[in-house]
């Protein structure tokens, strides 16, 4: 309908223009007509010259990248007057993409708009990027306003001169949640725990009362993965800022600090050690590879874990209902511990999504393209794409077609995902029961969510200290303390080793960054 209404307006305008031209023709000489015809030809020629091409480099999850003649790119050109050329590099966890980007940097072949994966610091040091402070509000005001100002301040704090060189990908929806089997709770006649003591009682019931009903003592109350991944809830109970099993930077005693070297971490390790000893925490946690861990959950063996609600179906609920038709997963607020402030982290900044090189001759057009995708009236197109290729109409509603290699990749340059957008996507892609399960878990996580102070901190603070960047020292001490190989007293040794191996210098850099941001 939007396209039809635009076409109607265009036809009306053209008709009015023709009428005016005819009236003018009746009042002018042949000489004037010749001049007007010449001017008209020149105008048409200038319009053709004004059509510009924006080259974009990104990565795709599936399918082939659309070319200028594909339907979705033709539609974009109709609406913006901009030709879009898209290209991609192999991803491989980001490693191959970064390698390919470095090749393009060396050859001075960066496109007009690109994902700066892994090369942010290099480009800043080279002065190769265009500052976007003036361009954003002028040519992409919708995008500018959609991203919170404190996020822009974090981006500014990442650059040496306090300017904006990157457009971040921002997640405004609750990304992480503690997850618990509601059907297991019903089986042991217990409610979702809200305190540490209630949480331990639930874990013991899961261990001892056969909630999966198979007659075997094979239940695992809670589980995580190697290197302490995805067992964040145990640490979050004690106010330890953690993202996907990695300690991160937050405020402790009003100072920015690495959460692994705080008293909160020591208390959390004592608790995790007790859970492990009592077989309430999976004793294979630090051996669990990703697929092994997910398989245990899918096989109706695990009661509590931590992950992303929007991934419940794909990661945990494909096989589980076949084994246990009553299986149901819900979100669990992080249990409270007296003397500590528990929370679920809500990092807003996912990554730096877009950058424009100084060498680009089409920076304004690149910004206008981003603005097109940001405008509310274009979000439906960006979300659903082309009928027959990306979606079909079913009962009067658009329904996304299954992802296939035959499709062109559906381009969406808007780097902000809201809670409403995520809920709509889940409702569109999954059966109602599963979609609602994921949405409810996401909403639970939002209620005790907190943005950590170190959100958006640049990786450059770790320059020269790769072991600190990788959390290697923390993972060694954390693992051996929890499984009982080392006493809890070794935690103080960990702090000293971390500080002396570069932690003090990294902390200094982190606090300088935070001071710039405030």
> Residue 98 is inside which H or E element, if any?
helix 95-106
Answer for the pair 503, 468: CB distance below 8 angstroms, yes or no: yes
- Written as one string, the DSSP assignment of 307-353 is E-GGGHHHHHSSSHHHH-TT--EEEEPPPB-TTS---EE---EEEEE
Mean pLDDT for the stretch of residues 233-262: 97
Query: Phi/psi class of residue 484: alpha, beta or left (left: φ > 0; alpha: ψ in -120 to 50)?
Result: left
pLDDT in tens, 359-400: 999 999 999 999 999 999 999 999 889 999 989 998 888 888
CA separation, residue 425 to residues 64, 192, 194, 330, 371 (Å):
22, 27, 30, 19, 21
**pLDDT, greater one: 13 or 454:** 454
What pTM, to 2 d.p., does this model score? 0.82
Contacts of 366 (CB under 8 A, 6+ apart): 54, 112, 113, 356, 360
Burial call 403-430: b when 16+ CB within 10 Å, e when fewer: eeeebbbbbebbbbbeeeebbebbeebb
Residue 195 banded pLDDT, cuts 50, 70, 90: very high
pLDDT at position 26 over 60: no
The answer to whether 190 and 330 are in contact (CB under 8 A) is no
Judge whether residue 20 has pLDDT over 60.
no
Lowest mean pLDDT among 60-74, 239-253, 285-299, 462-476: 60-74
Pick from 98, 140, 105: nearest CA to 351: 98
Residue 293 has pLDDT above 50, yes or no: yes
The domains found in the chain, sorted by start residue, are 52-172+350-416 (3.40.190.10), 177-346+433-516 (3.40.190.10)
pLDDT at residue 406 in the model: 76
Exposure string over 236-257, b if 16+ CB within 10 A, otherwise e: bbbbbbbbbbbbbbbebeeebb
Could you report the per-residue pLDDT of 141-191, keeping only the tens digit for each?
Answer: 999 999 999 999 999 999 999 999 999 999 999 999 999 999 999 999 999
- Residue pair 422/431 in contact (Cβ under 8 Å)? The answer is no
CA dihedral 130, 133, 139, 145 (to 10 degrees): 130
Angle formed by the axes of helices 196-208 and 263-277, to 10°? 20
How is residue 120 written in tokens?
């942010």
443-481 pLDDT, tens digit per residue, is 999 998 999 999 999 988 999 999 999 999 999 999 999
CA distance 58 to 409: 11
């Amino acid at each position: 309908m939007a396209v039809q209404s635009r076409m109607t307006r265009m036809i009306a305008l053209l008709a009015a223009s023709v009428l005016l031209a005819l009236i003018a023709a009746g009042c002018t000489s042949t000489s004037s007509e010749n001049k007007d015809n010449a001017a008209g030809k020149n105008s048409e020629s200038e319009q053709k010259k004004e059509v510009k091409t924006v080259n974009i480099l990104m990565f795709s999850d599936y399918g082939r990248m659309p070319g200028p003649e594909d339907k979705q790119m033709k539609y974009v050109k109709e609406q913006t007057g901009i030709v879009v050329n898209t290209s991609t590099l192999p991803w491989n966890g980001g490693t191959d993409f970064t390698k390919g980007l470095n090749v393009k940097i060396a050859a001075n072949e960066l496109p007009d708009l690109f994902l700066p994966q892994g090369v942010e610091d290099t480009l800043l040091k080279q002065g190769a990027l265009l500052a976007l402070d003036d361009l954003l509000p002028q040519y992409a005001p919708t995008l500018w306003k959609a991203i919170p100002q404190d996020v822009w301040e974090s981006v500014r704090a990442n650059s040496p001169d306090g300017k904006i060189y990157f457009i971040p990908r921002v997640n405004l929806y609750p990304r992480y949640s503690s997850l618990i089997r509601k059907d297991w709770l019903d089986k042991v006649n217990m409610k979702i725990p809200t305190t540490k003591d209630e949480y331990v009682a639930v874990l013991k019931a899961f261990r001892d009362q056969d909630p999966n009903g198979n007659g075997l003592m094979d239940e695992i109350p809670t589980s995580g993965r190697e290197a302490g991944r995805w067992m964040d809830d145990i640490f979050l109970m004690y106010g330890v800022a953690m993202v996907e099993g990695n300690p991160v930077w937050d405020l402790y005693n009003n100072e920015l600090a690495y959460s692994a070297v705080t008293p909160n971490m020591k208390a959390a390790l004592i608790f995790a050690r007790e859970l492990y000893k009592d077989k309430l925490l999976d004793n294979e946690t630090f051996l669990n590879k990703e697929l092994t861990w997910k398989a245990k959950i899918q096989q109706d063996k695990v009661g509590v874990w931590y992950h992303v609600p929007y991934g419940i179906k794909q990661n945990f609920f494909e096989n589980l209902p076949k084994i246990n038709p009553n299986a149901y997963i819900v979100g669990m607020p992080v249990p409270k511990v007296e003397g500590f402030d528990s929370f679920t982290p809500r990092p807003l900044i996912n990554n730096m999504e877009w950058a424009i090189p100084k060498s680009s001759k089409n920076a304004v057009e690149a910004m206008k393209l981003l603005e097109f995708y940001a405008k509310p009236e274009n979000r439906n197109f960006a979300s659903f794409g082309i009928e027959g290729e990306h979606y079909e109409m079913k009962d009067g509603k658009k329904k996304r077609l299954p992802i296939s290699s035959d499709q062109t990749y559906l381009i969406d340059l808007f780097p902000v995902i809201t809670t409403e957008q995520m809920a709509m996507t889940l409702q569109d892609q999954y059966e109602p029961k599963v979609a609602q399960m994921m949405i409810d878990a996401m909403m639970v996580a939002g209620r005790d969510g907190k943005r950590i102070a170190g959100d958006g901190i640049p990786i450059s603070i770790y320059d020269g200290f790769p072991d600190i960047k990788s959390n290697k020292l923390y993972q060694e001490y954390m693992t051996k303390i929890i499984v009982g190989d080392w006493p809890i007293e070794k935690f103080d040794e960990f702090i000293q080793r971390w500080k002396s191996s570069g932690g003090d210098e990294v902390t200094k850099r982190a606090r300088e960054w935070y001071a710039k941001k405030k």
